[in-house]
Amino acid sequence: MTDPTLHELGWEAAPFELDGVDGRRYRLADVQGPKGTVVMFICNHCPYVQGTIDDVVRDCRALADEGVGAIAIMSNDTEAYPADSFENMVTFARQHQLPFPYVIDRTQETARVYGAVCTPDFFGFDKDLTLRYRGRLYETVGTRPKPGARRELLEAMREVARTGAGPADQTPSIGCGIKWRR
């Protein structure tokens, strides 16, 4: 079996159906934008997510206006990390006014199929759900944005929306590792 974290650009997005904090179930097709889609793996407790979530929200709002859909998936083991419980996800989504669905991957199967390794982890797909970007939101210093950092995810997804291709240079995201069940 090949390592799923090594999806190369050109990989076709895998379907999923997961429960959202708003009481709905979401499939990939429900969030697919006419010009692209961002699938991100986040959680409530990660200091990298906490330090950047306002910018994630800002950039996803801008991308939505440009035809790029988004969804956030929480795949951590909630028994070992109760801060990531579904109830706390509801609070987190409300507190940060997430403009995209926030869903739970209880079986962790979606994270495994996508090859998610950390929170936050960003997958940028074109209009046909082909992977064109696997990178970071922007450069950070610790858990906070580096002053003057380029908005890499935003720029990449604008390029994907406009041309169907992602940037040649992509830097992987860093953050807390996915909390896998034992």
Across residues 4-16, what is the average pLDDT? 82
pLDDT at 2: 35
The DSSP code sequence of the chain is ---GGGPPTTPBPPP-EEEETTS-EEEHHHH--SSEEEEEE--SS-HHHHHHHHHHHHHHHHHHHTTEEEEEEE-S-TTT-GGGSHHHHHHHHHHHT-SS-EEE-TTSHHHHHHT--EESEEEEE-TTSBEEE---SS-EETTEEPTT---HHHHHHHHHHHHS---S-------EEP----
60 phi and psi, to 5 degrees?
Answer: -70, -35
In a domain, 178, yes or no: no
Where residue 3 falls among pLDDT bands split at 50, 70, 90?
Answer: very low
In a domain, 13, yes or no: yes
Q: Which domain holds residue 104?
A: 4-164
Q: How far is the C-alpha of 153 from the C-alpha of 112, rounded, in Å? A: 22
The yes-or-no verdict on residue 76 having pLDDT over 50 is: yes
In a domain, 35, yes or no: yes
In a domain, 37, yes or no: yes
pLDDT at 89: 98
In a domain, 154, yes or no: yes
How crowded is the C-beta side of 121, counted as CA atoms within 13 Å?
A: 19
Residue 50: give its domain's CATH number.
Answer: 3.40.30.10
Distance of CA 81 to the CA centre of its chain: 19
In a domain, 30, yes or no: yes
In a domain, 174, yes or no: no
- 89-143 pLDDT tens trace: 999 999 999 999 999 999 999 999 999 999 999 999 999 999 999 999 999 999 9
Across residues 35-45, what is the average pLDDT? 98
pLDDT at 7: 73
The yes-or-no verdict on residue 1 having pLDDT over 50 is: no
Where residue 6 falls among pLDDT bands split at 50, 70, 90?
Answer: low
Please, what sign has the CA dihedral across residues 159, 152, 20, 181? positive
Total tally of structural domains belonging to the chain = 1
pLDDT at 80: 97
Burial call 18-48: b when 16+ CB within 10 Å, e when fewer: bbbbeeeebebeebbbebbbbbbbbbbbbeb
- 136-175 pLDDT tens trace: 999 999 999 999 999 999 999 999 999 999 999 999 999 9
In a domain, 179, yes or no: no
